[in-house]
Chains A and B, each alone.
Chain A
Amino acid sequence: MDWTWFHRLASPPHVYALAVRLTPWFAWPAALCIAAGLWSGLVLAPPDYQQGDGFRILYVHAPSAWMSLMVYVTMATAAAVGLIWRMKVAHAVAASCAPIGASFTFAALVTGALWGQPMWGTYWQWDPRLTSELVLLFLYLGYMGLRAGIEDPQRADRASAVLAVVGVVNVPIIHYSVTWWNSLHQAPSVMRLAKPAMPFAMLAPLLLMLLGFTLLFAALLLTRLRAEVLARERAASWIREVVSV
C-alpha cells in the first residue's frame, strides 16, 4: 500500500493548503444541512403530543451532545497519533479540537437546562446524561488549562496528549458510574425520555441536524487548524508565500 498520503500529512505547508482547499467542501454542505434541518424541525415537524413545541430544542440539544463526545474522541485520536508518530500536525489538530468540543458541550448543557424548565419544572436536574455532560466540560477545561499552563509548546503538546488519552479511557467509566449512581437516586418527577419510535417527520430533521453539525465541526476544525498551523510555523519561510501581508 502506498503511504505517501499519510507521510505528507506530517508536512505543515501541505496540511495548510489541504485545509484551505477542503474548508468550503464542508462549510457549504453544513450550512445547507443545518438550514434545512432547522426549517423542517422548527416549522414542518408536528408538535409532540406530550411536550408540545418544547421538544423542538432537541434539534439543537441532541446534535450538540453527540458532537461533544465525537470531538473528544477525535481529539484523543489526534493526540495519540501525535504521541506515537511524533507528528506535530496531529498535535495541532488536537489543540484545535478542544475549544470546539468545549463549545458543543456548553451548548448541550445550556439547551438541556432550557429543555428541563418546561419538562421537569427546573433548570437543572441531576440527570445522568446532563451530569456526564458537565463532567465532560471539566475534562475539556482541564485539557485547555494544562495546554495553557505549560510554556514550551512541544511539552504542552505532549503532556496534553497524555491527558487526552487518559481522559478517553475514563469517559466510559465516568459515564457508566454516573448512570449507576443516578439509578439509585432517581427522583419520581423525572420524565421518562425513552421515546417510542419517533415518527419520520420528527426523525428526519434530527438526522439532518446531526449531519449538519458533523460537517460544521469539520469546517470549524479545518479553519482553526489553519490558524493553529500559521501560529506554530510563524517563523517558517513558506508562510510568506501563502499569506500576503
Chain B
Amino acid sequence: MNQRDGHVAETLGALDAPGAQPRDLPAPARRADAIEAARLALLRDLQLAFRKPGQLVQPLAFFAIVTLLFPLAISPELARLRELAPGVVWVGALLGSLLALEFLFRDDAQDGTLEQYALSGQSLTGLMFAKTLAHWLLTGLPLALMAPFVALSLGVSAAALPGILLAVAVGSVALSLIGSIGAALTLGIKRSGALLSLLTLPLSLPVLIFGARATQLAIHGTSFLGPLELLAALAVLGVTLAPLAAAAAVRISLE
C-alpha cells in the first residue's frame, strides 16, 4: 500500500503547485491543467497495474477458459464451432471485460485516492476518462489482441482475423466506458459482483449485437464496415457521456 500512497502524493503534488489554486487560473490554463491531470492519472494507473502483472492476466485467462467451454459443451467439429465463433468471441470478451471492472475503482476508493481526486479541484470527469482509458489499455486492448487467437481455435480462417481484432478493439472501448458507470455506481457496496453484472450487461447489449455482427461478416469475408461504424458511434457516445455519469456517481459515493 505504501507504493500506492507515494503515487497519490506524487500525482497530486504535481497538480498543487503552492499558491496556484486551479480555480483561480484563466480558462485556457485551466484546460491545459486538466489535460495534464488526466495524463498523470492515466500514467499512475498504468504504473500501478504493471506492478501487479498477475491481475492483468486474469481477464485473458478467463477469456481463454470460457472459449474452452464451448467445444466441450457443444461439439469439437470446427464447422459447427465456426458458426458459433462470433458469439463465443463476444460473450467471452464481454465477460472478461466485466470481470476486470471490479478493479477499476476498488483500490482507489479504499485508500482514499478517489476522494483526493474529487477534492483536487481538477475536473473529475477528465480524471474518470483517464481511469477508464487506462482500464481499456489494460483489459480491452489485450482482450482484442487475444480475440483473433480465440477465433483461430474455433476454425475461423486467417483472413478474417484483422477484422475481428478491429471489431473487438473498438467495441471494448464502449464496454469499458459503460462499465465505468456501473463500477462507480456500485462503489461501497459489499459483494457487488452480481449487481454490477445486472447493471452493466443490459446496457452493453447494443455493443454485443453490432460487434458479433461485424465479426460474423468478417468471417464470411464480406464488408463489415456498417456494424463497425455503429460500434464506433457507440464508443464516441460513450466517450462523451460516460465519464460525466461516472464522475457524478463517484461524487455520490463520497457524500
Whether chains A and B associate is yes
- Please tell me if A62 contacts chain B, counting CB pairs below 8 Å: no
B195 proximity list for chain A (CB < 8 A): 142, 145-146, 149
Q: Tell me, in angstroms, the Cα distance from A142 to B245 when the chains sit together.
A: 16
Task: Map CB proximity to A onto B173-198 as digits: 1 under 8 Å, 0 otherwise.
Answer: 00000000100011011001001001
Q: Which of B105-113, B122-130, B199-207 contacts A (4 or more CB under 8 A)?
A: B199-207
- Expressed in whole angstroms, the Cα–Cα distance for A173 and B248 within the complex equals 22
Closest to A132 in B: B205
Question: For chain A residues 150-166, which have a beta carbon within 8 Å of chain B?
Answer: 150, 152, 154-155, 158-159, 162-163, 165-166
Q: How far is the CA of A180 from the CA of B234 in the complex (A)?
A: 15
A180 to B210 CA separation, bound complex (whole angstroms): 9
In the complex, the answer to whether B199 meets A142 with C-beta atoms within 8 Å is: yes
Contact of A135 among B181, B202, B249 (CB under 8 A): B202
Which single member of B203, B213, B241, B253 contacts A181 (CB below 8 Å)? Answer: B213
Residue of A nearest to B197 (CB): A142
For A145, what are the chain B residues with a Cβ–Cβ distance below 8 Å? 195, 198-199
User: Chain A contact residues (Cβ within 8 angstroms of B): what range?
Assistant: 20 to 34
Interface 1/0s, chain B 208-234, versus A by CB < 8 A?
011001000000000000000010001
Per-position 1/0 for A181-197, Cβ under 8 A of B:
10010000000000000
**Which residues of the other chain, B, contact A177 by a CB distance below 8 angstroms?**
205-206, 209-210, 230
A171 CB, nearest partner CB in chain B, Å? 10
Does A27 interact with chain B (Cβ within 8 Å)?
no
A174 touches B199 (CB 8 A): no
With A149-B189, A155-B252, A158-B255: A139-B209 Cβ-Cβ less than 8 Å: no
Q: Distance in Å from the Cβ of A191 to the closest Cβ of chain B?
A: 23
Residues of B within 8 A of A178 (CB): 205, 209
Tell me, yes or no, whether A167 is within 8 Å of chain B by CB: yes
Which residues of B sit under 8 angstroms from A170, Cβ to Cβ?
Answer: 202-203, 206
Q: On chain B, which size bracket covers the interface?
A: 20 to 34
Out of B199, B205, B210, which one reaches A146, CB within 8 Å?
Answer: B199
Report chain B residues within 8 Å CB of A150: 188-189
- Cβ contacts under 8 Å, B185 to chain A: 146, 159, 162-163
CB < 8 Å neighbour of B205 from A83, A152, A174? A174
Confirm or deny: A57 has a beta carbon within 8 angstroms of a beta carbon on chain B. no
Query: Which residues of chain B have C-beta atoms less than 8 A from A142's C-beta?
Result: 195, 198-199, 202
Q: Verify if A227 is at the interface (C-beta below 8 Å from B).
A: no
Which residues of chain B are near A184, meaning CB under 8 Å? 213
- What chain B residues lie within 8 Å of A139 (beta carbons)? 202
Report Cα–Cα, A138/B194, bound state, in Å: 13
On whether the beta carbons of A166 and B206 are closer than 8 Å, the reply is: no
Chain B residues near A167 (CB, 8 Å)? Answer: 203
Give Cα A165–Cα B202 distance, bound, in whole angstroms: 14
- Closest A residue to B188 using CB positions: A150
Q: Tell me, yes or no, whether A141 is within 8 Å of chain B by CB.
A: yes
Q: Would you list which residues of chain B between 231 and 253 have a CB under 8 Å from chain A?
A: 234, 241, 245, 248-249, 252-253
Interface on B for A, CB 8 Å cutoff?
181, 185-186, 188-189, 192, 195, 198-199, 201-203, 205-206, 209-210, 213, 230, 234, 241, 245, 248-249, 252-253, 255
Known contacts A162-B248, A177-B210, A178-B205, then 17 further A-B pairs from the complex at CB < 8 Å, ordered by chain A residue? A135-B205, A142-B195, A142-B199, A145-B198, A145-B199, A146-B199, A154-B255, A159-B253, A162-B181, A165-B245, A169-B241, A174-B202, A174-B203, A174-B206, A177-B209, A181-B209, A184-B213
